[in-house]
């Protein structure tokens, strides 16, 4: 948009001024290289047809200039589209513009309710967002937005590093099958802390077979005595008599794989420290629930964002994609499996939390046992626990309460 268009915009804004503060609804459709914006007033009049601005400083400055030209209250709505809108959201926050973010599924449903035509453009989407904004309670992002965005980025990056780290263990297994096939079976197919220590410090069958009594002491401490001297001697014997190949290139591959694993592990620990500090700075009440740790709380907080923007726990379940599907035809109706919309990171965290809470909190353990007694399979019963847990989290977070099992019974 050029300066001339900007002047026309300001003139149009002045013409719409009816002598008092007005309410404007600003819809912004986010994309990678540009964003589209449309504005309607409180009567539904289109103040400006959708226009585009670049995803850069010049484009953001132009948006601010045009928003400042509006004489009245401004409510801004964005469609959640991953990381493409993060810089714009930070810009709006730094310039004291409040904004609200919507699940794309909600916008899509609103569009279909307005028309059956399958027409989709960024300009139409921006107008639909502005019009949808008129129909909902305005709940802008909280001041903690930056911390929550930081948490989301850190937790997802941590997951990415962990997946890469797991791939290195798969690669290490493949190499061990050639170099020292007896190793994994000796440790019952698991890369325990003791097994990894041995591989990291003695990365070949020859070095393992030459371990001495001084080598055993750190293994005993690491395993808390479970790795006995008998085990130590047996492993050395297996290494000495292995049928595996000791080719230099395979030993080199194993050494490099172990090195990459160690680097990834170090970076995971760095990221986890940042996550830990962020979460403790927010002091979320959900941490008072036995079984919920900092890492899980970080995912739940960052994926949901501001929980107060949800009117009820059912809205929370819907956002997480954990509500059951509903089918109705004629006189028959039924519910189905989870719809699984929304964040897979969030659902995974909730299911993991459900298991740890069952192991640590008697009330949830009893609820799980009840569902199992009703004939539900483990995964189904666990899903019920996750839903109950999510409702409890919603109450604690929105009312700033500590966990009390008596309120859950």
**pLDDT per residue rounded down to tens, the chain (409 residues):** 444 355 445 545 555 555 557 899 999 999 888 999 999 998 888 887 778 899 999 999 999 998 988 888 999 998 877 778 888 988 998 898 989 888 777 787 887 776 545 555 545 788 889 999 998 888 887 666 778 888 989 999 999 999 999 999 999 999 999 999 999 999 988 888 899 999 989 988 999 999 998 999 999 999 999 999 999 999 999 999 999 988 889 989 998 999 999 999 999 999 999 999 999 888 899 999 999 999 999 999 988 877 777 878 888 888 887 765 433 334 444 444 554 566 788 888 999 999 999 999 999 999 999 999 999 999 999 999 999 999 999 999 989 999 998 877 6
For 138-152, the pLDDT digits (tens) are: 888 766 677 888 898
Start-to-end C-alpha separation, the chain = 59
CATH number at residue 219: 1.10.287
User: Number of structural domains, the chain?
Assistant: 3
Percentages (nearest 5) of helix, strand, coil residues in the chain: 60, 10, 25
Q: Give the dihedral of Cα atoms 348, 353, 355, 357; nearest 10 deg.
A: -170
Over its C-alpha atoms, the chain yields an Rg (Å, rounded) of 28
The helix/strand/coil state of 311 is coil
Which of 258, 278, 298 corresponds to the end of one domain? Answer: 278
**Which residues, at least 6 apart from 71, have a Cβ–Cβ distance to it below 8 Å?**
13, 14, 17, 21, 22
**Do residues 154 and 227 share a domain?**
yes
Three-state SS letters, 24-52: EEEEEEECCCEEEEEEEECCCCEEEEEEE
Which range of residues forms the domain containing residue 171?
150-278
Q: Is residue 116 classed exposed, middle or buried when 0-12, 13-18 and 19+ CB atoms within 10 A define those classes?
A: exposed
**Do residues 273 and 299 share a domain?**
no
Which of 278, 310, 332 corresponds to the end of one domain? Answer: 278
**Do residues 137 and 171 share a domain?**
no
pTM: 0.70
Whole-angstrom distance, CA of residue 54 vs CA of residue 88 = 10
Average pLDDT of the chain is 85
User: CA triplet 269, 273, 274: central angle to 5 degrees?
Assistant: 120
Which of 229, 260, 278 corresponds to the end of one domain? Answer: 278
Q: Which two tokens stand for residue 22?
A: 């007005």
For 220-238, the pLDDT digits (tens) are: 999 999 999 999 999 999 9
CATH number at residue 114: 3.30.420.140
Look at residue 81 in the predicted model and tell me its pLDDT.
72
**Do residues 63 and 171 share a domain?**
no
Q: Give exposure, 214-225, as e/b (b: 16+ Cβ within 10 Å).
A: ebbeebbebbee
**Do residues 155 and 135 share a domain?**
no
């Amino acid at each position: 948009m050029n300066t001339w268009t900007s002047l026309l915009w300001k003139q149009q804004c002045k013409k719409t001024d009816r002598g008092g503060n007005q309410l404007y609804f600003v819809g912004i459709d986010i994309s990678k290289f540009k964003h589209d914006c449309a504005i309607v007033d409180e009567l539904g009049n289109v103040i400006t047809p959708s226009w585009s601005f670049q995803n850069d400083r010049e484009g953001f400055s132009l948006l601010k200039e045009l928003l400042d030209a509006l004489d009245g209250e401004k409510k801004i709505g964005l469609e959640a589209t991953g990381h493409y809108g993060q810089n714009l959201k930070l810009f709006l926050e730094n310039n004291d513009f409040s904004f609200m973010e919507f699940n794309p599924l909600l916008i899509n449903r609103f569009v279909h309710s307005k028309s059956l035509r399958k027409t989709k453009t960024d300009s139409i989407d921006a107008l639909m967002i502005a019009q949808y904004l008129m129909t909902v309670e305005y709940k802008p992002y909280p001041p903690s937005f930056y911390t929550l965005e930081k948490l989301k980025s850190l937790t997802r990056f941590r997951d990415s590093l962990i997946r890469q780290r797991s791939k290195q263990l798969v690669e290490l297994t493949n190499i061990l099958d050639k170099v020292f096939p007896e190793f994994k079976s000796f440790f019952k197919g698991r890369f325990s802390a003791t097994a990894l220590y041995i591989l990291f410090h003695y990365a070949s069958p020859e070095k393992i077979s030459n371990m001495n009594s001084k080598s055993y002491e750190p293994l005993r401490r690491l395993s808390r005595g479970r790795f006995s001297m008998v085990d130590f001697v047996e492993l050395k014997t297996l290494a000495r008599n292995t049928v595996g190949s000791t080719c230099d290139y395979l030993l080199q591959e194993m050494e490099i794989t172990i090195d990459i694993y160690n680097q990834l592990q170090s970076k995971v620990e760095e990221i986890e420290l940042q996550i830990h500090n962020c979460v403790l700075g927010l002091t979320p009440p959900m941490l008072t629930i036995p079984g919920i740790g900092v890492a899980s709380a970080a995912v739940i907080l960052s994926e949901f964002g501001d929980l107060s923007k949800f009117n009820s726990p059912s809205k929370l379940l819907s956002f997480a994609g954990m509500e059951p599907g509903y089918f109705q035809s004629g006189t028959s109706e039924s519910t189905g499996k989870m719809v699984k919309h929304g964040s897979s990171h969030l659902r995974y965290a909730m299911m993991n939390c459900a298991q740890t809470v069952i192991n640590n909190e008697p009330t949830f353990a009893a609820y799980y046992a009840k569902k199992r007694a009703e004939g539900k399979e483990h995964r189904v019963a666990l899903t019920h626990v996750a839903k109950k847990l999510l409702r409890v989290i919603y109450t604690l977070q929105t009312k700033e309460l500590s966990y009390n099992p008596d309120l859950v019974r």
